[in-house]
Structure 1
Amino acid sequence: MHARAIATLLLGSFFAAGSAAAAPPTVLELFTSQGCSSCPPADRLFEKLAHDDHFIVLSLPVDYWDRLGWKDTFAKHAFTERQRAYAIMRGDQQVYTPQAVVNGSEHANGANMLGIAASAETTKPPQLTVAVKRNGDDIEVSVDGTRPGSPAATVVVLPYLASRDVAVGRGENSGTKITYTNIVREIIPLGAWSGSPVKYRTKLSADAHYDGAVVLVQEGTPALPGAILGAGRIALH
């Protein structure tokens, strides 16, 4: 069978599996940069995927391309550290842009939907039920499920801006206007999950004007995150 036919079958089976109503969403984290000439196609792909409920899509701009002449307006060093930590946990040490990390455990070129689909096929989608609701200025998080002997895991909140356009003035993308989607602004650890139901409550900065937040239950620690066990999301506007 030709490679293109194999790829078509792979992508078709991926979306067929995702079409089931009860199927948990695939969590996609895109490590991108306004200073990376290879990134705009990935940014456009993630903009499209964000409209599909089968995915939880997040963009995490990194800062290591700022040296090329344009300082990324959304980049944070914490996102660079998260990307490097994933590479350590996987054991492959691969850090690049655009890089899509799939369900916290595999990676692919963020502009290659077939590669992302192939990575998703080899990962276990998040199974834990994570409920997120708003209570005044706070958000409340409930993680359901009892799994004795589960690996140590951490509950984290990632508030985001839903969509922002950036006109890049210098560097590799000079003169280009790029739309960024679900741009993470913080990584906020709430606490541990050890295999039993747990609830957390946290306050997000009102001055930040966040559009939404994603809550992840991940193996490992905030410094060394691993596979995503559960995921939830909430719109704040």
Structure 2
Amino acid sequence: MTRLASVGQLFLMGALAVTCASGGNTLAAPANEKTSVVELFSSQGCSLCPPAHRILQQLSRRPGIVVLSFPVNYWDYLGWKDTLARPEYGERQRNYAALLTKGEVFTPLAVVNGMRNCVGSDLAAIETAIRSTSTSLTSQSVPLSVHREDGNLHIEVGDSDAPPRHRSGKLWVATVLRSRSEKIGAGDNAGQMVTYTNVVRRLTDAGDWQGAPASYSLPLDALSKDGDMLVVFLQTGKLGPILAATLVDIDFNRN
């Protein structure tokens, strides 16, 4: 069954893929296409999470969809410590919960485009959320381009020919492993092998955005090297509608 807890209980407990083939290539999603982002919050101790990961893998194969898997650790007390979870991912989910679920935090939870939440093992609900949020965000999409040069990741956000439409936002860079399998040793999923898709190993705050065209530069060495891909995405506020997203293949051994 779905694991469910309130925010208070938890505190008491303690999109379209673009590939970078060479150093100077510029990466950008087509201006007329909105890339949808599906974030999955899951736990290895949750019985409904393995089906949710299979759904996430299925969604990742569809054009125009970027998926991110955020393993959380707040169910570790049940007897199995999640091998990939990080406390900050649970914090991200709690912040979403304050906005979207009246404080309820559960797994598996899917958040679509930063706007809609649904049970992560319900494909039909996720597809409905993708359609509804993509429609409302079509006129709000923001150009986003990425290229690497001299050991740095350079990101351009916004269009100088278009007036600012948003007051503020934040640019995120997620370092991910595109596929990772983990065998669960105890709990509801004991003995199962779970395959993660685009599992986040580090989420980097690349800087604030004030609605106008802006440039960002991050040294690749500052990004975690335990991933094989980056997801760059622009989100209004601290957590809100996601206006743009791009997948970037990176060989961390190259400058």
Query: TM-score scaled to structure 1, two decimals?
Result: 0.84
* 1:217 corresponding residue in structure 2: 234
Q: Distance in 2 between matches of 1:203 and 1:105?
A: 31
CA RMSD, Structure 1 to Structure 2 (Å): 2.0
Note if 1:182 corresponds to 2:198: yes
**Structure 1 unpaired stretches of 5+:** 1-19
* 2:79 corresponding residue in structure 1: 69
Note if 1:208 corresponds to 2:208: no
Which residue identity is paired with 1:131?
Answer: S
Contact kept? 2:37, 2:65, Cα under 8 Å: yes
Q: Once the two structures are aligned, what percentage of the paired residues are identical?
A: 38
TM alignment of 1:1-237, pairs within 5 A: 22-90=32-100, 92-123=102-133, 124-125=136-137, 127-145=141-159, 146-148=162-164, 150-205=166-221, 208-221=225-238, 225-237=239-251
Which residue identity is paired with 1:164?
Answer: R
Using the TM superposition, give the Cα deviation of residue 49 of structure 1 relative to its aligned residue in structure 2, in angstroms.
Answer: 1.4
Which residue identity is paired with 1:216?
Answer: F
Q: Secondary structure at the match of 1:104?
A: coil
Q: Distance in 2 between matches of 1:76 and 1:186?
A: 9
Q: Distance in 1 between matches of 2:70 and 2:63?
A: 20
Q: Distance in 1 between matches of 2:210 and 2:38?
A: 24
Q: Distance in 1 between matches of 2:57 and 2:241?
A: 24
Q: Distance in 1 between matches of 2:217 and 2:123?
A: 36
C-alpha deviations, 1:54-80, integer Å up to 9, x for none?
210000001111111111111011100
Query: TM-score scaled to structure 2, two decimals?
Result: 0.78
Contact kept? 1:63, 1:77, Cα under 8 Å: yes
Using the TM superposition, give the Cα deviation of residue 154 of structure 1 relative to its aligned residue in structure 2, in angstroms.
Answer: 0.8
Specify which structure has the bigger relative contact order, considering alpha-carbon pairs within 8 angstroms and separated by 6 or more residues: 2
C-alpha deviations, 1:95-130, integer Å up to 9, x for none?
211111000011111111110122223323461121
**Structure 2 unpaired stretches of 5+:** 1-29
Using the TM superposition, give the Cα deviation of residue 207 of structure 1 relative to its aligned residue in structure 2, in angstroms.
Answer: 6.6
Contact kept? 1:143, 1:199, Cα under 8 Å: yes
Which residue identity is paired with 2:233?
Answer: L
Contact kept? 2:31, 2:143, Cα under 8 Å: no
Distance 1:203-1:88 versus aligned 2 partners, 3 A rule: same
Contact kept? 2:166, 2:236, Cα under 8 Å: no
Contact kept? 1:108, 1:116, Cα under 8 Å: yes
Q: Distance in 1 between matches of 2:219 and 2:52?
A: 32
Q: Secondary structure at the match of 2:82?
A: coil
Which residue identity is paired with 2:47?
Answer: S
C-alpha deviations, 1:174-223, integer Å up to 9, x for none?
000110010111121111211211111112447723211111111112xx
